[in-house]
Amino acid sequence: MAEALLADNLHERDIAARVSSAGRVSDGQPATDTAVDTMAERGLDISGHLSRRMSSSMLGRADLIVAMTREHLREAAVLRPECYPRTFTLKELVRRGSDEGPRAPGESLDDWLTRLHKGRRPLDHLGSSAVDDVADPVGQGPHVYEQTATELEGLTTRLVDLLWPPAG
């Protein structure tokens, strides 16, 4: 759901950025029917989505790695420790971006992420935390999927605003 919402937000703003998702589920699993229905209500078709397992090579190619949970962040950091400075949970990235300020005109993504990474330690990401983790709705009812989608809409919109602040 996050991939579709972020990609749609970027498309609506004519921002050319590639978004792809991967996780801990084995390759080739389709989105749940409830996820498909939840996104369809927002005009987004994820019926063709198939899961991909996170790999070291895909992490190495990513400019920014956005995890839904601390657990996912830790797995990415174990696979590619050098990627840790550009790996954040979505909630952490939005929170730190809001605290540090949006990416400045002419500021590279790497420089902005360096600002946000300052003071972070891997130990900060042990355990789980509602402050950092987006709850996985799999196995829950439509109401929980709707809550998660609404949360992800807000977070992905805020992230795009931080990465590409509106002029003026």
Tens-digit pLDDT profile for residues 98-125: 999 999 999 999 999 999 999 999 888 9
DSSP state letters, the chain: -HHHHHHHHHHHTT--------BSSPTTPBPPHHHHHHHHTTT---TT-B--B--HHHHHH-S-EEESSHHHHHHHHHH-GGGGGGEEEHHHHHHHHHHH-PPPTT--HHHHHHHHHTT--GGGG-S--TTTPPPP-TTS-HHHHHHHHHHHHHHHHHHHHHHSPPP-
Is the pLDDT at 86 greater than 70? The verdict is yes
Residue 168 counted as domain residue: no
The CATH number assigned to the domain holding 93 equals 3.40.50.2300
Average pLDDT of the chain? 94
Is the pLDDT at 25 greater than 80? The verdict is no
Q: What angle is formed at CA 39 by the lines to CA 33 and CA 42, rounded to 5 degrees? A: 145
- Token couple for 7: 């990609």
Q: Could you report the per-residue pLDDT of 118-148, keeping only the tens digit for each? A: 999 988 899 888 899 999 999 899 999 999 9
Q: Percentage of residues in the chain with pLDDT exceeding 90?
A: 88
The whole domain housing 89 covers 2-163
Residue 47 counted as domain residue: yes
Q: Could you report the per-residue pLDDT of 50-74, keeping only the tens digit for each? A: 999 999 999 999 999 999 999 999 9
Q: What pLDDT was estimated at residue 163?
A: 97
Residue 99 counted as domain residue: yes
Is the pLDDT at 168 greater than 80? The verdict is no
Give the CA-trace dihedral at 11, 106, 93, 139, to 10 degrees: 10
Residue 113 counted as domain residue: yes
Work out the average pLDDT over 23-49. Answer: 93
Residue 166's pLDDT band (cuts 50, 70, 90) = confident
- Token couple for 106: 């002419």
Q: Could you report the per-residue pLDDT of 5-22, keeping only the tens digit for each? A: 999 999 999 999 999 999
Residue 65 counted as domain residue: yes
Collect all residues with Cβ–Cβ distance below 8 Å to 12 and sequence separation of at least 6.
none
Q: What pLDDT was estimated at residue 42?
A: 97
Residue 128 counted as domain residue: yes
The total of structural domains in the chain comes to 1
